[in-house]
Amino acid sequence: MDAENLHYFEKAPIAKAVAHFAVPMMLGMSMSVIYAILNAYFLGTLHNTALLTALALTLPLFSIIMALGNLIGMGSGTFISRLLGEKRLDDVKHVSSFAFYSSLVLGLIVIAVGLPLIDSIVHGLGATPDSFGFTKDYVTVMLIGSPIVVLFFTLENIVRSEGAAVTSMIGMILSVVVNIILDALVIFVFHWGVIGVASATVVSNLVASAFYAYHMGYKSQFLSISMKWFKANKDILSHVFKIGVPVFIMSIFLGAMSLVLNHFLVEYGDAATAAFGISSRLLQFPEFILMGLCEGVVPLIAFSFTANKLRMKQTIGFTIKAIVALAGVFGVIVYLTSDHLIGLFTNDPQLIEMGSYILHVTFLSLFISGTTALFTGIFQATAQGTAAFIMSVIQGITLIPVLYIANRMNGFHGVVWSLVIADAVAFLVGATMLVVLRNKLQPDLEHV
């Protein structure tokens, strides 16, 4: 951690400190969403709904692979930030080296388990006869490339945890730019379709992972990828998995929620699945901006938790105000332009109508989901493993029964509205736990 990063951790005004940590993360994540939108747009130009359906159906699998990266990355990253606050610098090297190599091992396990079960996985994702082949192609490539994808998500968290927010952003943007270039080539030049799109994702993650590994090995003062620093003792494992496992479970639940949603949407035809896939990608832009804000401040909250709890309280208060402002701006934009946004991906009137409706409904909970993400980040940063675990499962536990009931009562409309209900429940649970834990985190936290 250089002097500039230390200044933002310890002394910079709160607004500047939050901007230093959050804005690069917000930009990097927004670029990822822009890629996802362009990805759907490129495939949409082929005028094959089955391709777009396959892309939507594989989101749960990508969520699971990403979850493994976040298991190690978020667990190790928040631990590293707290260690920096306590000036335990040798332990930082041990944890970062552990994160690097354990990520690769997890990816290899995915290959060993996933490839023999690939047909079952594709059926489980809800592929229809028309989309089965495309979905299987995508799943095959993603399974083979899973060590690289897991490593990418891990290292992004590790680099950000030492305060190198700009470096983290550069790696994310590098991945997106490489991905977009390769997508254009494999779709329009080589005509490789879904196989090319999936391969482009893996290669772009490889490029960004190499960039992060170079930073950790040669540029960072305290992070390391050297095997000589590798250690997997009880202290490291307990701190990493105390936060990492809830993050993993949350990601798994998100994947399961997408899977369950897909199964319900398939009942209403490929158009419903494709419309939800398009609107979800559009919704990802404001969601990822808010998520970037909330995840970006996690290292600052974690560092301040061990070094300056008053600064932690001020950081949380400022971040909530920023969430309110951003959610308001995005909500107005979407309600004014939803038809035009969906129309960028398709000229099918049914898809435009359904996609616009989904956008209108799901944007109602944008502020709620943003604040919920902040609650989760606070629990992760302050090593509140039980609270983080509860946040990881509450939305999924709520959504699944609500989906069944809402679908029976109000069909397609019930399926869409169930997302808002699940978000609202998660928000209320998170707010309640924050109040309960306020004395443990900070005596005056109730005034945030």
Q: What is the pLDDT of residue 448?
A: 43
Q: Which of 102, 303, 100 is nearest to 220 (CA)?
A: 100
Residue 93's pLDDT is what? 94
CA 114/CA 403 separation, integer angstroms? 28
Rounded CA-CA distance 302/382 in Å is 6
pLDDT over threshold 80, residue 20: yes
Give the pLDDT mean for 76-92.
90
The gap from C-alpha 328 to its chain's centroid, in whole angstroms, comes to 22
Mean pLDDT for 357-366 is 82
SS3 433: helix
Whether the pLDDT of residue 76 is over 90: the answer is yes
Half-sphere exposure in the Cβ direction for 250 (13 Å, CA): 25
One-character DSSP codes across 159-218: HHHTT-HHHHHHHHHHHHHHHHHHHHIIIIIS--HHHHHHHHHHHHHHHHHHHHHHIIII
Q: Which of 220, 335, 342, 323 is nearest to 276 (CA)?
A: 342
The 10s digit of each residue's pLDDT in 177-186 is 999 899 889 8
Provide the mean pLDDT of the chain. 85
Per residue in 284-334, pLDDT (tens digit) is 778 888 888 988 898 899 888 888 888 888 999 999 999 999 988 988 888
Distances (CA, A) of 362 to 81, 117, 190, 280: 34, 34, 37, 9
Q: Which two tokens stand for residue 350?
A: 């049914």
| Position with higher pLDDT, 278 vs 329 | 329
Cα–Cα distances (Å) from 397 to 253, 364, 434, in that order, read 8, 21, 20
Radius of gyration of the chain measured on its C-alpha atoms: 21
Min mean pLDDT across 45-54, 225-234, 283-292, 318-327 is at: 45-54
The answer to whether the CB of 277 falls within 8 A of the CB of 55 is yes
Q: Over 70: is that where the pLDDT of 1 sits?
A: no
Q: Is residue 80 scored above 90 in pLDDT? A: yes
Residue-wise pLDDT for 96-154, tens only, equals 999 999 999 999 999 999 999 999 999 888 887 878 888 899 899 999 999 999 999 99
Q: State yes or no: pLDDT of 273 exceeds 90.
A: no
